Structure 1
Amino acid sequence: MLAGPLQVLAAVGEHEHVTRAAQELGLQQPTVSRTLARVQRAVGVPLLVPHGRGVRLTPAGRALTESAARALAELERGVRTVQEDDAVGTGRVALGFLHTLGAAAVPALVRVFRADHPGVRFQLHQGAAGAVLEQLVAGEVDLVLTSPVPRREGLLTDALVEQPLVVALPADHRLATPGPLELSAVAAEEFVLFEPGYGLRELADASFARAGIVPRVAFEGQDAHTIRGLVAAGLGLAVLPSAQRGTSEVFAGVVERPLAGPSSTRTLGLVRRDEPLPRVAAAFRDLVLARGELLLR
């Protein structure tokens, strides 16, 4: 790598001698002296004074070379971090996903990936669909697992699986029986829904609109676990993804009936920016595309 002004300043500051700094950098002494002179003209403060046949640093020159050394050290740490985060064996994947995927789906994908890449670290971000997509656009995460699958300029999407939607009812509800359930059958009921901005609220509102229903919303929440708890307490019905067996999503006192009709599923998709991914994130993307069925565990 060619020595830039920061490297020249740092080397001169370390050796307090232009010739030795030039030797360390593999440059000619005049080149080092000219670089220092250019920096001196740029900052407008004397950095060098004649000393014998050469030059020596002024106090201002020594202070600036110390700053250059610190800046180079910070830059080197940044380079190492970027290289480590990009390494397939020891890098980092920043993943955004919906709250409803956190209990079983995301842990299943991470577990399979780390079986082959045990040194990889994951930075996990849960949130509403809109929030995690904004994190993706801002560059805060590499990949997002979400629903509905967005159509947005600058983003690339892969549809993965169709996840069944259900109507969750209190276990003692008169309609808590097996089989699919039309929303028209519960049009007069009160509902517990996700807050606006969540993908499931968007899907629920679209389903109600197709059925010609204006739902009576008794409660709005941000977490599927809490919404199921409110249903179990008899405070309303909910439109949710089917609970994943063996997880905390399964609530005593809640019965799920498959949602009937054309909008009975939601599409889970993987979203990324339209730009190259770090190698480790690309490897995780490939795993998700190959093992998308784990999202339905």
Structure 2
Amino acid sequence: MSRLFEDSLVFLCRPDHPLVGCARVDVADLARDALVGFPPGFGLRSVVDEAFHSVGLEVPTQHELTLGFPEIAELVRRGVGSAIVPDSESRRMPGLHRIELAEPVLWRAYLASRPSKEIGRATARLAEIIMSSPGTVHHGDEARAG
């Protein structure tokens, strides 16, 4: 298994949210917020669930959708709730405010495959292309990134 990338999660809210003045926010401070996010079973949702469980809380996700980050951002803009999203995605969401989490929470994605000697040339080439993509954590970087 090879790590493709990792991204810090941030709290995303409207500019009129009470926490906007904070430089960082604790996950526990978000327990009363109505969150917009993915349903249980999605990789990112599992990371968010674990962040809340690690401080003894249940996730306050009240609005679950299986679409994508642009739709989550639109619901946050409309005042449906706030969200916890990857930092790289938050920077593509104009008009919303991002706040770092006090205790870093990382979303990591991996490429899992059989050993190269057990896969076909096309599959091996695809894995090679994916692993050489910009933003991919390279094997020498993995010790520093993990």
Q: In which range does the TM-score fall when normalised by the shorter chain?
A: 0.7 to 0.9
Partner letter of residue 252 of structure 1? Answer: P
Alpha-carbon distance between aligned partners in 1 of 2:107 and 2:60, rounded to the nearest angstrom: 22
User: 1 or 2 for the larger relative contact order (CA 8 Å, sep ≥6)?
Assistant: 2
2:114 is the counterpart of 1:269 = no
The DSSP-based 3-state class of the residue aligned with 1:189 is coil
Indicate if the aligned counterparts of 2:3 and 2:136 stay in contact, CA closer than 8 A: no
Aligned to 2:140: none
2:5 is the counterpart of 1:161 = yes
Aligned to 1:173: 17
Candidates 90, 95, 101, aligned match of 1:253: 95
Q: Where does the alignment leave 5 or more consecutive residues of structure 2 unmatched? A: 138-146
Alpha-carbon distance between aligned partners in 1 of 2:31 and 2:71, rounded to the nearest angstrom: 22
Cα offsets for 1:231-280 (capped at 9, x unmatched): 111111111112448xxx72333212222315x11111112245733313
4+ long deviations beyond 3 Å: none
Matches within 5 A, 1:1-297: 157-177=1-21, 179-222=23-66, 223-244=68-89, 250-262=92-104, 264-273=105-114, 276-291=118-133, 293=135
Q: What is the alpha-carbon root mean square deviation over aligned residues?
A: 2.4
Cα offsets for 1:37-66 (capped at 9, x unmatched): xxxxxxxxxxxxxxxxxxxxxxxxxxxxxx
Structure showing greater radius of gyration is 1
Cα distance change on mapping 1:208 and 1:197 into 2, 3 Å:
same
Cα distance change on mapping 1:178 and 1:281 into 2, 3 Å:
farther
Larger mean CA deviation between 189-198 and 214-223 belongs to 214-223
Partner letter of residue 124 of structure 2? Answer: A
Indicate if the aligned counterparts of 2:48 and 2:59 stay in contact, CA closer than 8 A: no
Cα deviation, residue 227, structure 1 = 1.3
Alpha-carbon distance between aligned partners in 1 of 2:99 and 2:113, rounded to the nearest angstrom: 34
Equivalenced residues, count: 135
Alpha-carbon distance between aligned partners in 1 of 2:21 and 2:122, rounded to the nearest angstrom: 47
Alpha-carbon distance between aligned partners in 2 of 1:277 and 1:179, rounded to the nearest angstrom: 48
Cα deviation, residue 182, structure 1 = 1.3
The TM-score, its normalising length taken from structure 1, stands at 0.41
Q: Where does the alignment leave 5 or more consecutive residues of structure 1 unmatched? A: 1-156
The TM-score, its normalising length taken from structure 2, stands at 0.77
Cα deviation, residue 209, structure 1 = 0.5
Which structure carries more helix by proportion? Answer: 1
Indicate if the aligned counterparts of 1:160 and 1:267 stay in contact, CA closer than 8 A: yes
Larger mean CA deviation between 274-283 and 191-200 belongs to 274-283
Q: Percent identity?
A: 25
